[in-house]
Every structure is written in structure tokens, then in C-alpha cells.
Amino acid sequence: MNHITSRISKFALLLLALAFTALPAMADTVVFNGTTTGGPIFNRPNEGQPPTSLSPSATAVPFRRQSFIVSEAGSYSLTLVSTSFATNGYDPFLLVYLNNGISNPIGNTPLENALAANDNGGGFPTAFININLLPGVSYLVVPTGFANDDFGSFMLTFTGPGTITNTSPPSTAPVPEPATMILLGTGLAGIAAKVRRGRKDNLTTA
């Protein structure tokens, strides 16, 4: 029995070591669900990376904003899907800003610090932005709509090489889905199964 327990302990330590060693190389995925309904309004920029002009059809469109940071430099993908398109036709639009710390930089100066803006880059009705981000820098992601009457519920998905951290808790609750947790959970389930098999073998030979 002691021999089996020793082998299981070594296996568990090896698994944990592999999981934490692989952590920096694994992509992080975080999902936010929320709504732009009832949000503040602004004159949103047109598409561009960066955008350079304001839209004539979205002069008072509702938006939400969320600040975040990343732990590693690299290419990050942001996908905004309208989850109320079937009920109200909400056509989403997505922007990413450099967060300059001003209380309301978007509503007052919509083009200032704007890094990227997209309408249907992910296929209608989905906005998509792929952008290089740096660690330790605060960014704003802004779900909004194509026109003034485009507002509703959305699902916003972040994916990238580093950890994505929500730095200003929004009304849209984050649901982290790191790949490492899946790996670790699978490994621990395997350990539990091995322990059960070892106990059963001991009972059989006793």
C-alpha cells in the first residue's frame, strides 16, 4: 500500500509541476455578458485601427465600457456577439481604447486614445478586433451599436496569450475560462481514479 501511495504522490507532484510550468504559455479566455440598454450615449467613431472619424449615423448610441489589463505582450482577440439580435435586431459595434484615467474620456472625446473600432469583422452580427496589447497598460473595451437604435444584450469574449484581468468591476460579470484549470481538473480526476483503483486492488489481494 505504501508503495502505491508513494507512486501516486509522485504522479500528483509531477502533474502539478507540469501544469504550473505550462501556465505562462497557455492562452486565457474570459467572457463577459451584459447589455448596452440604458447605458450612456456618445457619438461613436467609424471603423478603423485606429479610427479617425466619427459616425454620422451613431451620434447618440448607448455604450458600456470595461477597463482591463493583460499580463503578457502579444496578439489578443476580442469578439462581441449580439445575443438579442433575434428579438430586437441589435447590431453590435466594438471599440478598444487606451485608458488615460479620465472619468469619462469616451463620451467627451470619442476619438482620443481610440486604438481600434469594428462593426462586422466577425460576420454579421458579430464585431471582432485583433490587436497587440502590452502588459501593465490599462485599456478600455467598449461594446456599443452601429446606429442610435442599436442596443441590447451581448457576449464579449477575450482571448490572448496572457492573463486578462478586469480592473473596474462592471455590471457585466466576468466568467473566466483559463485552459490551465481544465488541465488541472482533468489531472486531479485521474489521480482520484488511480487512488480508487489502488484501494480496490488491495482489498482484493487482502
Greatest Cα-to-Cα distance within the chain, rounded to the nearest angstrom = 82
Instruction: Give pLDDT tens digits for 150-177.
Output: 999 999 999 999 999 988 654 444 444 4
Termini Cα distance of the chain: 11
Average pLDDT over residues 123-132: 92
Strands 92-98 and 139-145, by their bridges, are antiparallel
pLDDT of residue 171: 44
Mean pLDDT of the chain: 77
Domain regions of the chain by residue span: 1-26+178-206, 27-177
Whole-model pTM? 0.70
Instruction: Give pLDDT tens digits for 12-55.
Output: 444 444 443 434 445 789 998 999 999 999 999 999 999 999 99
Q: What CATH class does 27-177 carry?
A: mainly beta
> 155-174 burial string, b = 16+ CB within 10 Å, else e?
bbbbbbbbbbebeeeeebeb
